[in-house]
Amino acid sequence: MDVISDQNWVLSVGTFLPLAGVLVMLLIPKREELLHKQIALITALATLAVGIYTLVQFDYGQAQSLQFYASTEWITVINSGYTIGLDGISLPLYFLSMVITVLVMIYSWDHIPSPGNPKAFLILMLVLQTGMAGTFIAQDLILFFVFFEVVLLPMYFMIGVWGGEQRQYASLKFFLYTMFGSALMLVAFLALFYQTGRESFSIPFLVENGINIDEDVALWIFAGMFIGFAVKVPMFPFHTWLPDAHTQAPTQGSVILAAILLKLGTYGFVRIAIPILPQAAVKWAPVIGVLAVIGIIYGALGCLAQSDMKRLIAFSSVAHMGFVMLGISTLTATGINAALFGMVAHGLITGMLFFCAGSIKERYHTLEIKRLSGMLIQMPKLGWILGFCAMASLGLPGLAGFWGEFPAILSAYNPAPQLDVTLFRTLMVIAALGTVLAAAYLLWLYQRTAFGEPNPEFTGHGHAHAVGAAGNDEHHSDIHDVNIYEWVAWTPLLIAIVVFGVYPQLMFKVMDPAVTQLVGVFNP
């Protein structure tokens, strides 16, 4: 793997800048809420500016090389280094994490969930940002592991403190479950280290040497990483933490969770597990593929059984990540490109859906599908945005979601030569069935909540068209259409969904060289 070390300060600054904001905020008393919001937003914007700089300076002709590469000694006793770099696979996710953080900050401007305390909430978010960005730039397994774990704590507190009624249970489950996976992952990392001669934890080094590990051993090591990443994705049957975490998390938490955190798992597969142990990946791919497709169908069925909108969206993540994993399991450039695209697309679309759900909850104080109806009458703009996101989520061509799903299905027809064609073609057909179910649960949700006449419960005096009169009734005064903060936070996502849907090349051209290099080992 070639590396380019120009401007190697860029990534470190981009990753740790949020912590500078945290330091400042720690010194300011809690009651200065506005100031905290300002500082947090400015920090996030500054980080984003660094991200944009990275985007501009990135050499797209060399997207397969690690750029802005830096490597210094860190924990010399175990030969672990502070090795960072960015290639076409990590760039989109790295940048996405920065964008999402800014948007969530904007949304938080007037949506600090109870019990308030913006200082702590925003600090956690900035720490989270560092963890997320760090995971995507780490090129050393120990460093990766540290960032991977750093992400956990802020999210644990976000759910546990600012979450819904069952926040304690959900946050603990989230934490323990992920921790359990991490433990196995760490063991696998250590085993890798020992198996390659205890020289280095650096990913480029391991990519070169991992292939020499005995296949039997490699299978076990892969298994450890598999569980670690599969919990995070989450893949069936390791997904049960997700609906609880998503449902209980505050809106901001759900958005970040869906948009970025789930991608840490899939990214782990693409960045670490598959390139380092290709010989094991080939053996594991059928398992991954089968579980992915079970996840697609199972997640969709789970959606159909839901009565709560947010839980439904959470289950839809299981289905969508199934498509991502199916793409990865084909071990082809098309499949992995589709998976990477799918990650970003899912981040944008499901993130947006969670934003919508959060705003609906704020207005109606419920997300029970039965009680919601006629949202298009009460809040036409929010209703149409929800419809747009539902359409994007079910994979309408021309919107971003399609380019994650369709190429993944396509790639399953011709998986890597080492894989069983019949199995993958069967998976392809079942996955296609998943697109039908996706249409079913999303449109059914939309038909029930957005169409029809508003529920009299939420319309002042029990008459259908009470928008004008709603203001008189204070109980219902909070049912209003999209406000300015929501517009600012959402518009970039909505635009991105269209732009990537219309011109997917924007992202594919960044990822493609790196992915092609990655799968080169499977197509000699």
Q: Which of residues 279-298 bind other proteins (CB under 8 A)?
A: 298
Does position 163 bind other proteins by CB under 8 A? no
Task: State the minimum distance, in angstroms, from the CB of residue 48 to other proteins.
Answer: 26
Q: Which is nearer to other proteins, 176 or 484 (CB)?
A: 176
Helices (H), 394-474: 400-413, 421-449, 467-470
Does position 150 bind other proteins by CB under 8 A? no
Contact 5, 70 (CB under 8 A): yes
Does position 419 bind other proteins by CB under 8 A? no
Task: State the minimum distance, in angstroms, from the CB of residue 332 to other proteins.
Answer: 6
Does position 176 bind other proteins by CB under 8 A? yes
CA distance 5 to 29: 41
Consecutive H or E run containing 262: helix 262-268
Task: State the minimum distance, in angstroms, from the CB of residue 263 to other proteins.
Answer: 18
Q: Which one, of 421, 426, 352, lies nearest residue 388 by Cα?
A: 352
Instruction: Indicate the SS3 state at residue 73.
Output: strand
Phi, psi at 72, each rounded to 5°: -135, 165
CA distance 220 to 279: 12
H, E, C per residue of 79-104: CEEEEEEECCCHHHHHHHHHHHHHHH
Does position 414 bind other proteins by CB under 8 A? yes
Site string for other proteins, 209-238 (x = CB under 8 A): -------xx--x---x------------x-
What residues from 362 to 391 belong to the interface with other proteins (CB under 8 A)? 374, 376-377, 391
Work out which of 444, 487, 499, 521 binds other proteins, going by CB under 8 A. Answer: 444
CA distance 137 to 143: 9
261, 267, 271, 277: CA torsion to nearest 10: 110
Tokens of 510: 């960044």
Per CB under 8 A, which region of 44-52, 100-108, 489-497, 498-506 contacts other proteins?
Answer: 498-506
Q: Which one, of 247, 249, 262, lies nearest residue 161 by Cα?
A: 249
Q: Which amino acid is at 108?
A: S
Instruction: Indicate the SS3 state at residue 151.
Output: coil
Work out which of 116, 397, 417, 471 binds other proteins, going by CB under 8 A. Answer: 397
Q: Which amino acid is at 319?
A: A
Contact 440, 304 (CB under 8 A): yes
Does position 179 bind other proteins by CB under 8 A? yes
Does position 468 bind other proteins by CB under 8 A? yes
Work out which of 63, 143, 159, 161 binds other proteins, going by CB under 8 A. Answer: 161
Work out which of 195, 200, 252, 316 binds other proteins, going by CB under 8 A. Answer: 195
Q: Which is nearer to other proteins, 16 or 180 (CB)?
A: 180
Does position 75 bind other proteins by CB under 8 A? no
Q: Which is nearer to other proteins, 421 or 484 (CB)?
A: 421
Contact 142, 190 (CB under 8 A): no
Work out which of 302, 322, 358, 401 binds other proteins, going by CB under 8 A. Answer: 302
What number of H helices and E strands is found in the chain? 23, 2
Contact 479, 361 (CB under 8 A): no
Instruction: Indicate the SS3 state at residue 524.
Output: coil
Q: Which is nearer to other proteins, 85 or 460 (CB)?
A: 460
Work out which of 305, 370, 457, 475 binds other proteins, going by CB under 8 A. Answer: 305
Tokens of 43: 């920090």
Work out which of 398, 471, 477, 491 binds other proteins, going by CB under 8 A. Answer: 398
What residues from 84 to 143 belong to the interface with other proteins (CB under 8 A)? none
Work out which of 44, 50, 151, 412 binds other proteins, going by CB under 8 A. Answer: 412
Work out which of 19, 369, 439, 488 binds other proteins, going by CB under 8 A. Answer: 439
Work out which of 69, 121, 193, 241 binds other proteins, going by CB under 8 A. Answer: 241
Q: Which one, of 319, 326, 170, lies nearest residue 254 by Cα?
A: 170
Contact 379, 482 (CB under 8 A): yes
Work out which of 25, 274, 336, 356 binds other proteins, going by CB under 8 A. Answer: 336
Q: Which is nearer to other proteins, 102 or 285 (CB)?
A: 285
Work out which of 74, 413, 485, 487 binds other proteins, going by CB under 8 A. Answer: 413
Per CB under 8 A, which region of 46-54, 137-145, 267-275, 336-344 contacts other proteins?
Answer: 336-344
